[in-house]
Amino acid sequence: MEPYLEVERYDLVSALRQLKVGLRRHAGQEARLSFDGHVLEVALQGVTSGVPARGRWRGTARVTARALASLVRLPPRDEHLVLKYSNGVIRIGRILLSARWQDIGPGAIEVPLNATMLDYLAIRETRSPAEIVASGLEKELDVLGVKAEKIIQRAARVLATLEIGAQELRVLFSHNLRRRVAEDRDGTAEGRR
């Protein structure tokens, strides 16, 4: 069965209007359309907008921001819309949008109750984007990635007098992330918890 979602035009256009500046600014970038079982999520450059939806959409569709911006300018006429994906195209009524599809297989990602920020961010090193989306951790990991970068920038300002910059701190952070992944793989991580 082909992926499809039922949404209301007002909800879809409202959600896209929330992303309107990003849709124009990042017209050539791809936006991701995914479904969590209740909400169609439209994500572009770390910003996500949601649309109440129902249907079957086990995957992520990628369309250009330019294509979504055209839906804001000239929305479909019908109040009740059905989005269908088939053979590289999302059909919304009479409108066709070129798209790429990425299937999502089932699979939970186990996270310990006392997981640290570094534990969460290490997930990106060990799991595919599809697994992360399927697990429901994508938003949380995006937020934590932004938070980590803000911490690095703040630390760089503090350490500037010692001539330690953000890039050096990113290298250190990346090293710690890789170490955490290696410890988790070989079972030596238990001692730190």
Instruction: Tell me, yes or no, whether 99 lies in a domain.
Output: yes
* Claim to verify: residue 167 and residue 80 sit in the same structural domain: no
pLDDT at 193: 46
Q: How far is CA 2 from each of CA 83, 85, 174, rounded to the nearest angstrom?
A: 10, 6, 40
* Claim to verify: residue 76 and residue 127 sit in the same structural domain: no
* Claim to verify: residue 167 and residue 141 sit in the same structural domain: yes
- Compute the average pLDDT of residues 123-129: 78
* Claim to verify: residue 86 and residue 132 sit in the same structural domain: no
Q: How far apart are CA 64 and CA 70, in angstroms?
A: 10
Domain boundary pick from 68, 103, 138 = 103
Strand locations in 25-141 (E) = 30-35, 39-44, 47-52, 54-56, 59-64, 80-86, 89-92, 95-98, 100-103
Domain boundary pick from 45, 72, 103 = 103
Q: How far apart are CA 181 and CA 179, in angstroms?
A: 5
pLDDT at 90: 92
Residue 190 has pLDDT above 80, yes or no: no
Residue 66: domain span: 4-103
* Claim to verify: residue 132 and residue 63 sit in the same structural domain: no
Q: How far apart are CA 116 and CA 59, in angstroms?
A: 28
Domain boundary pick from 103, 131, 155 = 103
- Compute the average pLDDT of residues 147-170: 93
Q: At what angle do helices 166-186 and 117-126 cross, to 10 degrees?
A: 80
Q: What is the largest CA-CA distance in the chain?
A: 62
Q: State the distance between the two ends of the chain, measured CA to CA, in whole angstroms.
A: 45
Q: What is the DSSP letter of 115?
A: -
Instruction: Tell me, yes or no, whether 108 lies in a domain.
Output: no
pTM of the predicted protein model: 0.53
* Claim to verify: residue 152 and residue 180 sit in the same structural domain: yes
Which amino acid is present at 179? R
* Claim to verify: residue 94 and residue 26 sit in the same structural domain: yes
* Domain total of the chain: 2
CATH code for position 50: 3.10.150.10
* Claim to verify: residue 123 and residue 96 sit in the same structural domain: no
**Closest C-alpha to 28, from 63, 61, 64:** 64
* Claim to verify: residue 22 and residue 90 sit in the same structural domain: yes
* Claim to verify: residue 21 and residue 70 sit in the same structural domain: yes
Which of residues 58 and 131 earns the better pLDDT score?
58
69-112 pLDDT, tens per residue? Answer: 888 888 888 899 999 999 999 998 888 999 988 876 555 677 76
- Compute the average pLDDT of residues 10-23: 80
